[in-house]
Amino acid sequence: MDSLSSRFDAAADALATAGWCVLPRLLPEETTAALAEECAAMHAAHRMTPARVGGDRTATPLRGDHTRWFEMNALSEAQRPFVEALEALRHTLNRSLMLGLVESEAHYAVYAPGTRYARHLDRLRHSDARVVSAVYYLNEAWDPDDGGALRLFLDEGRTHDVMPQAGTLVLFLSDRFEHEVLPATRERMSIACWMRRRELGVLP
Ligand SMILES: O=C(O)CCC(=O)C(=O)O
Ligand SMILES: [Fe+2]
């Protein structure tokens, strides 16, 4: 397998042309397994919060995941190598695409069987800061029959489904591609991340 830095260079090219790409088998298996273990333990210990949509603070069937944000200034042992790779990717994107990405944010997400995240765009209503969306999957031996794909809505009515297989990172431009999480028959764990630029101003 090529080095991380050459794969990130290729990812920058893909973002510049297609606007999205998928990087399978990105990090060593032990790194991904440690993240999966931590995520599952936090969920089991009820340290995750039901996710909300937009300004709506009530529970919604549109989005069924439980999340917990990474504290970027107090990363766990498991999180550190992942965030190092994410930051290396951010620097590559800044260098080759001049995106001016100043920081990353990331949260664990757990979708219980049967839950979903309805079709949406990752740009928040009052902010244009999110530029690149990145999702890293933590699920060993995912089978297509398990469901739970991330469905990307591409140009000209085409779609592309990404299986949430451990070690796969999917990247896409946050303001360009609507996407949805389809329900799965088993628990589905991931890390959802966004690379942000300085806010240009509060949108109406
Ligand atoms: O888990 C995924 O595949 C995507 C999650 C997502 O779209 C989000 O958190 O905004
Ligand atoms: Fe999303």
At residue 202, the pLDDT reads: 56
Total tally of structural domains belonging to the chain = 1
How many whole angstroms from 121 Cα to the centroid of ligand 2?
6
Q: Is 51 in the pocket of ligand 1 (CB under 6 A)?
A: no
In a domain, 145, yes or no: yes
Structure tokens at 177: 């591609």
Q: Which positions ≥6 away from 177 have C-beta within 8 Å?
A: 19, 20, 121, 152, 153, 154
Q: Is 190 in the pocket of ligand 1 (CB under 6 A)?
A: yes
At residue 7, the pLDDT reads: 98
Among 63, 150, 177, which residue has the most ligand 1 atoms within 8 Å of its CB, making it the best to mutate? 150
At residue 78, the pLDDT reads: 98
Q: What's 193's domain CATH number?
A: 2.60.120.620
At residue 163, the pLDDT reads: 98
At residue 52, the pLDDT reads: 77
Among 65, 123, 135, which residue has the most ligand 1 atoms within 8 Å of its CB, making it the best to mutate? 135
Please give the residue range of the domain that contains residue 151: 4-51+62-197
In a domain, 56, yes or no: no
How many whole angstroms from 31 Cα to the centroid of ligand 2?
24
At residue 127, the pLDDT reads: 80
At residue 58, the pLDDT reads: 58
Sheet holding 159-162, edge to edge: 117-120, 179-181, 150-153, 159-162
In a domain, 100, yes or no: yes
Q: What residues of the chain score a pLDDT lower than 50?
A: none
Q: Is 117 in the pocket of ligand 1 (CB under 6 A)?
A: yes
Q: How many CA atoms lie within 13 A of 62 on its CB side?
A: 12
Q: Which residues pair with 172 in a beta bridge?
A: 20, 133
In a domain, 159, yes or no: yes
Q: Is 15 in the pocket of ligand 1 (CB under 6 A)?
A: no
At residue 143, the pLDDT reads: 97
In a domain, 203, yes or no: no
Please tell me the residue having the least CA distance from ligand 1 atom 8.
192
Contact 90, 50 (CB under 8 A): no
How many whole angstroms from 152 Cα to the centroid of ligand 2?
10
